[in-house]
Structures are given as C-alpha cells and as structure tokens.
A = this chain, B = another copy of it.
Amino acid sequence: MGKNQISFITGGTATSPQGFRAGATCAGIKKKAVPTLDLGILFSEVPCVVAGLLTTNKIQSAHISLCRERFQRGRAIALVANSGCANACTGEQGLADAAEMAERTAQAIGIEPEDVLMASTGTTGQPLPMKLIRDGINQIILSRDGGHELARAIMTTDTVPKETAVAVRTGNSEFTIGGIAKGSGMIHPNMATMFCFLTTDAAVELEFLRTSLRQAVDISLNMISVDGDTSPSDTVLIMANGMAGNELITRGSPQAETFQQALEQICVYMAKALARDGEGATRLIEVTVNGALSIADARLAARTIVRSPLVKTAVHGADPNWGRIIVAAGYSGVEVVESKIDLDIGDVSLLKRGKPVPYSAQDVVRVFEQSEVPIRLNLNLGTASATAWGCDLSEEYVTINSKYMT
C-alpha cells in the first residue's frame, strides 16, 4: 500500500476530475457595458452521487428548494448556474423560472430535469430574465477545461475567480477533487455558504459523502464572514462520479480518512480565497481561538471577532487598537474571563493572562499591514480551538454596496 498523498494541482478547477465538462456564455443577465460570462453548465459523463448544504436563511432563492429535493435523491448529472440575478424574493414565478431553467438545461444535454441542479446569485427581488436564460443555455459549449469559464460565470462582485483541485493518492487508489466558488458580499454563512461547487471522480457512498461534506464545511466555509449578512442563495455541493475506479469510499473504509483530509484542504482553500476577496477587502484576517470550553464556543468567539466592524476597520487602517479584539470576544456570548486571556497579533504578544505585555505599536502596525493578518486568542479555560477567516472593512466596501443596483 502506497503512502497517502494530497497535492494541489496547478491550474486545477471543477473539471480537473475525470469525466467532468463545463462551459459558460455571456447571456446578458449582468447588465455590463462589456459582455461578461454570467450563465454556465457543469456536466458529468456519468451520473453522480451528490451531497449539498443550503442556506439557513428563511428567505430563499428559488433554486434552494429544488436543490433540496435533488440532494435528498442524492443523484445528479449536471448543474446550471447564473450570476446577475439571485431569483430571490420572487415568489411562485421564481420557482417556475428555476424549474424551467433545469428543464431547458436537461433538454439541451439530453437528460432528465431531475438530474439537473441549479443555482442563481446576484440582485434579489428581480425576476430571472428567462428569454436571456433560454437563449444562453443553447449557446453553451461544454469542454474538459470549461471549469475556468464556469468559475468566471458565477462571479458577482468577486475580483478573481476561485478554483482549485487536489490530486489524492491513497492505498492503490488515485482520484481528484476539484471545485469553484464565488463570494464576495452578503457573506456570513450558516450551515452552508455562497456558491462552492465541488467535483470528484472518486467513487463515494452517498451517506459518507454527506457527512464528509458537512464536516469539511463546518471548519472552512462556515467559518468565514465578510459582512455578517447571510445570503438567501448559499449553496455548497459536491458531485462524485466514480470514474477514478477506486474502491467505494464509505464510513471507515481505508480511503475515508484521506478523502476527508483532501476535502477539508480544498474547502479551507476556498474559504480563505473567499474571505481574501471579500468586497473591498485588502487583507485576509485569520483569527484562531484556543483554550475555549467547547468547539462551539471557540467557533463563535472566532467568528464574532472576524465579523466585528471595529476589528475590521482597525486592521484596514493598521491602527493598533487591539482592545477591540478582546471586547468582541467579550460580547460574543461565550465564556471569557479577562484575567486569563492571552492575545497575540502575528509575532507580537499583547496580553498574557489578562496582563498587558509591553509592546511596540509599530510592531502591531507592521503585522496589520501584511496581506494575511494572524490573530491568536487563548482563553485558557478549556482545550477547544477554532479558526475563522474574514477581511478588513474598507471605504471601498461601502462604495460597492451603496451602488449595487444603480
């Protein structure tokens, strides 16, 4: 049996795993001066086992309930996705439009509508422009490196596409996991997040795929925040087509652990890519909370800090106002005892057991000016840890969101 190996593939994307093809088109849903990719399809040559997580917002894009049905069946062959319109707050017309989007895609490919997943992102409260979508679907050409196009087609205010893949070798098996994702505002996922579409050629049993995805998302995509607003469109899914020919991965099977590790690595990669490209962001903030009483406490404290507008603006301005980090932990709702806290910003120690450590403000400024700002808090109450990712809050965030529609 060979050594387990997980390695990121240069130029990897959602079509890196065997048997996946994708394509996209400029359908005109995004009203831009220059034609922009805004509608795309992902397709597997053979039917996939599929698992997914959807937004917990009670207001939901129309595609959410249709995806939920398909996730329950656990099977899909294709995915159609658009940007420029979230098809949310659109009532029954929205549901009919989402269903038609799946039907038209199924017709174009020659499969059943039940095997088509769908996802819409963009402005809420406006109906899908169905004529553009009908025409667009028929223009899409699927190819083996079409993942790159699809990654661009789902972008809204994202400044860069998010895509990657890992090659996994475990025992005698070799398989690939790939994926694409989009942000970059209304990002405060809860049980699921924005869009993250993952693919693998590994053969994976449905129940294990579901558990594995949930576990990976809990430590990655569920641990980021750009602005504290949970979107009604959040959709994470993984399609596994089995074309790698490996022995079926199930709970406790020889390859299960390596598969899980690989999935977690790719999800953490996507989480950091999304946080780094948050609307208006200039820096990635990584908050690690150690010594919490429970994992739930550690996660809540880390996410609360990374969400705090005052922490985010301090990092943005490289203002060494570290008290705001402690204050955010204090209101997070988790158990915190001031006299026990250690705080480090990068390599600078600021608090040791609640006592201020003499430090140079200039050293904190230096860390805040880095492209990645690590903040570590030890509550010294228990043994639980968690890491959350976010970004600084800039004037640009306000400017982007003051003019989203106009």
Which residues from chain A sit less than 8 Å from chain B, CB to CB? 56-60, 86, 88-91, 123-126, 185-186, 188, 190, 227-232, 307-310, 313-314, 316-324, 326-331, 335-339, 350-351, 354-356, 361, 365, 393-395, 397-406
Contact in complex: B323, A57 (CB < 8 Å): no
In the complex, the chain B residue whose C-beta lies closest to that of A330 is B59
Give Cα distance in the complex from A329 to B228, angstroms: 13
> A400 to B324, alpha carbons, bound, how many Å?
14
Structural contact, B58 and A330, CB atoms closer than 8 A: yes
Minimum Cβ distance to chain B for residue A287 (Å): 15
Q: How many copies does the complex hold?
A: 2
Knowing that A56-B331, A89-B327, A124-B326 are A-B contacts, what are 5 other residue pairs whose CB atoms are under 8 Å apart, sorted by A's residue number? Answer: A60-B338, A91-B338, A314-B404, A321-B404, A395-B399
Are B59 and A329 touching (Cβ within 8 A)?
Answer: yes
CB closest residue in chain B, given A339: B91
List the B side residues contacting A321 at CB < 8 Å: 123-125, 404-405
Q: Is the CB of A323 within 8 A of B124?
A: yes
Q: What are 14 pairs between A and B in contact, CB < 8 Å?
A: A58-B330, A59-B326, A89-B356, A91-B339, A123-B323, A125-B321, A125-B356, A188-B331, A309-B309, A310-B401, A317-B403, A321-B405, A395-B398, A398-B398
Kindly identify which residue among B230, B327, B339 contacts A331, using a CB–CB cutoff of 8 Å.
B230
Please state if B310 and A91 are interface contacts (CB–CB under 8 Å).
no
Q: Which chain B residues lie closer than 8 Å to A323 at the CB level?
A: 86, 88-89, 123-126
Give A190 to B331 CA distance when docked, in angstroms: 9
Find out whether the CB atom of A310 lies under 8 angstroms from the CB atom of B406: no
Complex alpha-carbon distance, A313 and B88, angstroms: 20
Residues of B close to A402: CB separation below 8 A: 313-314, 316-317, 319
CA distance A351 to B88 in the complex (A): 13
A229 proximity list for chain B (CB < 8 A)? 308-310, 324, 327-328, 331
Q: Is the CB of B405 within 8 A of A331?
A: no
Closest to A315 in B: B402
CB pair A327–B398 under 8 Å, yes or no, is no
Q: How far is the CB of A305 from chain B (nearest CB, A)?
A: 11
